[in-house]
Chains A and B, each alone.
Chain A
């Protein structure tokens, strides 16, 4: 579903490339999380996947970028709208400003695509149910909380039935309740099996609980790729600026102090840690 081959990208006016020799393949229906320190190129990769590089941000892009079989750099953004969807950090800036109710906001993309009216209504209802905003359909988008607005952005993108959903730190500005609501919506989306979810995230416990696979980006290169617990529970991860949960830290330190035998990948979530320490 995502097939990147030998992708290089340099921002205009920059001497050093931001992405190097990036080769990544994500199968259909997988929930893949991208972690790594700042300036690693994570947002840049999101823009490459969704076509904003090269259509919005110029610069030099080389290599093969295929999403759902579509050659992204050669397809216009309007056509890409039904193939790959992008949700980013700031919930407020993703509200189009063209519609005065949640329902119509979600319908906006379908209206632009010229989808017949009879088809728009059920699709909008489905998208709202998917993110749990059905009860707020008649509210103004500006009367929603940050977490609700982020779910609105998600619904507005999912209504166009993209094959790939790319999210760039969608919970960064949300409180714990908003974060939970977004992750649960993503779990429902992923469970349907029709959409590949590719998410940049710093909140490791959430990543380890929901993602099928974790990929680590450091200075524009992919340096690790595998099972969430294996990647996030390994000492090499926080050396790379990925960080670690307190559970992992406790397990590591417990091993150093001889209190526990730490073999294999260390725990990353509460559940894993509880079993580990019993």
Chain B
């Protein structure tokens, strides 16, 4: 299911112009990261994709559907959204019921609800806690719980708003693994994050935003190579890219082995 953003502008009721003339086209199965400073408009853009905000100018198409004509609940079957603070949505007595809330709203049969809940909890590794009270879990586990609740919607497009803040490394790796599985299952994954290493590792495409506009949109290796653009947007490149640049290596490594390959090649050349 593809997403098309055409000439999107958005002005908040208080008058602030948050988005100016955004054009974006996302194909089914893509993995992309929206990066930029706080206030650049990342979350404002994301909220247009599932109808939480309606454009003041332009339009957003999810498949053939115009978001202006549907409620968020109706769009939820196509675009699911993971919010930054899990505590803003937890209300059920058990982890299981919390995850099952979404599928129930979608009108799934009881068997389907059970199957989806099971799958979602397995994917994030919380099945053992299914009967626990959500507030007995550690905050990072609640983040995984919220992720499971979003996964259970099984929507073709999934939006993760700052999934990486405040987590320890094990939980961060789990989130990364989940993203990879979503990609394997052909879902469209859109991530908003400040963690450039996470974005480089898991997202093939980067959309760089600043002051309500898109500054750059392309494959991650291209966008992260543009030092001055990133600096203008107030963003640092991923660690390995910075290291390559510091060592004067040509190329933009996505992971450790790529970096080492570049290092090896440059060593051979200097012999």
Mark out the residues of chain A between 197 and 255 whose CB falls within 8 Å of any chain B CB in the assembled complex: 202, 205, 238, 241-247, 249-250, 253-254
Enumerate chain A residues within 8 angstroms of B197, measured Cβ to Cβ.
246
Mark out the residues of chain B between 135 and 180 whose CB falls within 8 Å of any chain A CB in the assembled complex: 138-141, 165-172
- Shortest Cβ distance from A67 into chain B, in angstroms? 26
B167 and A202 contacting across the interface, CB-CB below 8 Å: yes
Q: Is B264 located at the chain interface by the 8 A CB criterion?
A: yes
Given contacts A175-B38, A177-B37, A246-B240, contact A37 B168 (CB under 8 A): yes
Q: Is B205 located at the chain interface by the 8 A CB criterion?
A: no
Complex CA distance for A68 and B177, rounded to whole angstroms? 45
A249 and B256 contacting across the interface, CB-CB below 8 Å: yes
Enumerate chain A residues within 8 angstroms of B71, measured Cβ to Cβ.
none
B260 and A250 contacting across the interface, CB-CB below 8 Å: yes
Stretch of B57-65, B118-126, B230-238 with 4 or more beta carbons under 8 angstroms from chain A: B230-238
Cross-chain contact of B239 among A37, A246, A253, A259 (Cβ < 8 A): A246
- Shortest Cβ distance from B34 into chain A, in angstroms? 13
Given contacts A89-B166, A169-B166, contact A278 B256 (CB under 8 A): no
Most buried by A among B167, B168, B194, B264: B168
Q: Is A121 located at the chain interface by the 8 A CB criterion?
A: no
Chain B, residue nearest A254 (CB): B260
Size class of the B contact interface (CB-based, 8 Å):
20 to 34
Enumerate chain B residues within 8 angstroms of A254, measured Cβ to Cβ.
260, 263
Enumerate chain A residues within 8 angstroms of B247, measured Cβ to Cβ.
274, 277-278
Given contacts A202-B167, A238-B169, A241-B169, contact A175 B194 (CB under 8 A): yes
Complex CA distance for A173 and B85, rounded to whole angstroms? 10
Chain A, residue nearest B39 (CB): A145
Size class of the A contact interface (CB-based, 8 Å):
35 or more
Given contacts A39-B138, A173-B165, contact A259 B263 (CB under 8 A): yes
- Shortest Cβ distance from A231 into chain B, in angstroms? 15
- Shortest Cβ distance from B210 into chain A, in angstroms? 13
- Shortest Cβ distance from B176 into chain A, in angstroms? 12
- Shortest Cβ distance from B140 into chain A, in angstroms? 5
Chain B, residue nearest A42 (CB): B168
Mark out the residues of chain A between 3 and 40 whose CB falls within 8 Å of any chain B CB in the assembled complex: 36-39
A→B interface (CB under 8 Å):
36-39, 89, 145-146, 169, 172-173, 175-178, 202, 205, 238, 241-247, 249-250, 253-254, 257, 259, 270, 273-274, 277-278
Q: Given contact pairs A243-B172, A250-B240, enumerate 17 new A-B contacts (beta carbons under 8 Å).
A: A36-B168, A37-B170, A39-B138, A89-B166, A172-B165, A173-B166, A176-B236, A178-B38, A202-B169, A238-B169, A244-B169, A246-B240, A247-B239, A250-B256, A254-B260, A270-B239, A277-B243
